[in-house]
Amino acid sequence: MKARVTVTLKTGVLDPQGKAIEGALKSLGIDGVASVRQGKVFDIELDGDKTKAEAALKAAADRLLANTVIENYRVEVLG
Amino acid sequence: MKSAVLVFPGINRERDMARALRLVSGREPAMVWHAETSLPEGTDLVVAPGGFSYGDYLRCGAIAARSPVMDAVRAFASDGGLVLGVCNGFQILCESGLLPGILMRNARLRFICHDVHLRVERSDTPFTRGYNAGQVIRVPVAHGEGNYAADEDTVRRLEGDGRVLYRYCSASGEIDDTHNINGAAQSIAGIINERGNVLGMMPHPENHVEDTMGCTDGRGLFAGLVAHLERAA
C-alpha cells in the first residue's frame, strides 16, 4: 500500500530557507506570494492492513521523519 | 582520561578530535564505529565529532542519532559519564534527545567557516574548568546549520540554570547580533544537559590546540576535562 507522510515546520519556527524561496519567487515577479514555508514529503510503500500501516507510519514519523521540537507531520494512507 | 570517539559514516573531524585528545590527555582514544552496541570498558569521555554524518540527509545528525552506538551513549550518559559533541556531534546529541533543542539552518543561509570568539560563561563545570568565567577564547567554526533553536520555556530554563557555557561574542566579549554568527537563540554556541555531564557546541576547540594551528585557546576545554577526571579519581 502507498502512503504519504508530510512534515511541516511548526508555526513560529523561523524558516530561513522558506524566506529565501519567498524572496526568489518575488524576484521572479510571481504575484501575490505572502509567505513560503518549506517542508518535506515522504512517499512510502509498505505492507499490512491500513490500521497497522497507520501505526507504523506514526511511529516512523515520531521516531525519525519529523523532529517534533520544530516540526508537525501528517500521515495519509493512499491505498 | 580514557576517551572514545564515535565514528559515523560521513564524519570527517574524528582524526582532529583524536589528535587533540591524544595531545592533551596523553592517551590514545578508542575509535568506536556507529554499529557497535557498547563502549570500551572504563571509558571516561565519549566524543561525537564533527562532519556530515549520513550526508546531513533528512536533518543534520538525525540518522546518526538513531544508530546502535547511541543507545550505549545514552546509557553511559545516564550513569553520569561525560559526553562531548562538537558541530555535527552537537546536532547528533540534540537529535538523540541527550540535549534539548535543535540546530537550524544559519540565519543568513551561508556556510560559515572562520574563527569566532566565544565567551566562557562559567568555569565550574567539567567542560569549562580549564578557563575563567568571562574569558574570551578564539576557535574556528565550520557549519551551515548551527543556529540553535528551542521553545521559549527551554531557552528560559537553559538560561535560568546556567546551562549555556559558551556564547558567540566580540573579541572583547560583547554579546550582540553582529557577533551572533548564525542567529542562534541567545547567541548560544554550547550548552550542557540538566545533569551537567553532556556538552554540545558548534565551534571546534579541537582545531586550536597546538602552536602550529596558530592558536591554542581550545586546549583549555580538554585540559579541564583531564583535570576534572583526575580530581574525581
The per-residue pLDDT for range A15-58, each reduced to its tens digit, is 888 999 999 999 999 999 999 999 999 999 999 899 999 999 99
> Is B87 one of the annotated active-site residues of the chain?
yes
Contact A13 B149 (CB under 8 A): yes
User: Is a pLDDT exceeding 80 seen at residue B1?
Assistant: yes
In CATH terms, the fold of domain B3-232 is Rossmann fold (3.40.50)
**Chain B CA closest to residue A67:** B95
More confident residue, B231 or B93: B93
The whole-angstrom separation of Cα B50 and Cα B92 is: 10
The whole-angstrom separation of Cα A11 and Cα B138 is: 36
Cell of B164: 549555556
What is the pLDDT at residue A13? 86
CA distance B65 to chain A (A): 9
Q: How confident is the model at residue B37 (pLDDT cuts 50, 70, 90)?
A: very high
Q: How confident is the model at residue B233 (pLDDT cuts 50, 70, 90)?
A: confident
Q: How confident is the model at residue B13 (pLDDT cuts 50, 70, 90)?
A: very high
> What percentage of chain B exceeds 90 in pLDDT?
97
Contact A70 B106 (CB under 8 A): no
Contact B59 A67 (CB under 8 A): yes
The whole-angstrom separation of Cα A26 and Cα A47 is: 43
Of residues B66, B150, B183, nearest to A69 (C-beta): B150
Q: Residue A65: its chain B contacts at CB < 8 A?
A: 58
Contact B149 A14 (CB under 8 A): yes
User: Is a pLDDT exceeding 90 seen at residue B108?
Assistant: no
Q: Which residue has the cell 521553545?
A: B151
Q: How confident is the model at residue B232 (pLDDT cuts 50, 70, 90)?
A: confident
The whole-angstrom separation of Cα B206 and Cα B221 is: 9
> Is B169 one of the annotated active-site residues of the chain?
no
The overall average pLDDT reported for chain B is 97
**Nearest to B184, CA basis, from B129, B77, B104, B89:** B104
Q: How many CB atoms lie within 10 A of CB B62?
A: 22
Residue positions counted in chain B? 233
Q: What would the mean pLDDT of B137-141 be, rounded to a whole number?
A: 98
Task: Quick: pLDDT tens for B54-69.
Answer: 999 999 999 999 999 9
Of residues A14, A64, A70, nearest to B66 (C-beta): A64
ipTM field: 0.85
List alpha helices for B43-165, DSSP H.
68-78, 88-95, 152-160
**Structural domains of chain A in order of their starting residue, each with its CATH number:** 2-77 (3.30.1280.10)
Of residues A20, A65, A69, nearest to B109 (C-beta): A20
What is the pLDDT at residue B169? 98
Written as one letter, the residue type at A3 is: A
Sheet architecture: strand order including A40-45: A40-45, A2-9, A71-77
Q: How confident is the model at residue A12 (pLDDT cuts 50, 70, 90)?
A: confident
B23 in contact with chain A, both atoms CB, cutoff 8 A: no
What is the pLDDT at residue B35? 97
What is the pLDDT at residue B160? 98
The whole-angstrom separation of Cα B71 and Cα B67 is: 8
Contact A63 B66 (CB under 8 A): yes
Q: How confident is the model at residue B19 (pLDDT cuts 50, 70, 90)?
A: very high
Instruction: List C-alpha distances in Å: B49 to A73, A77, B206.
Output: 30, 39, 10
Instruction: List C-alpha distances in Å: B212 to A72, B93, B176.
Output: 47, 30, 31
Q: Residue B150: its chain A contacts at CB < 8 A?
A: 69
Task: Quick: pLDDT tens for B182-211.
Answer: 999 999 999 999 999 999 999 999 999 999
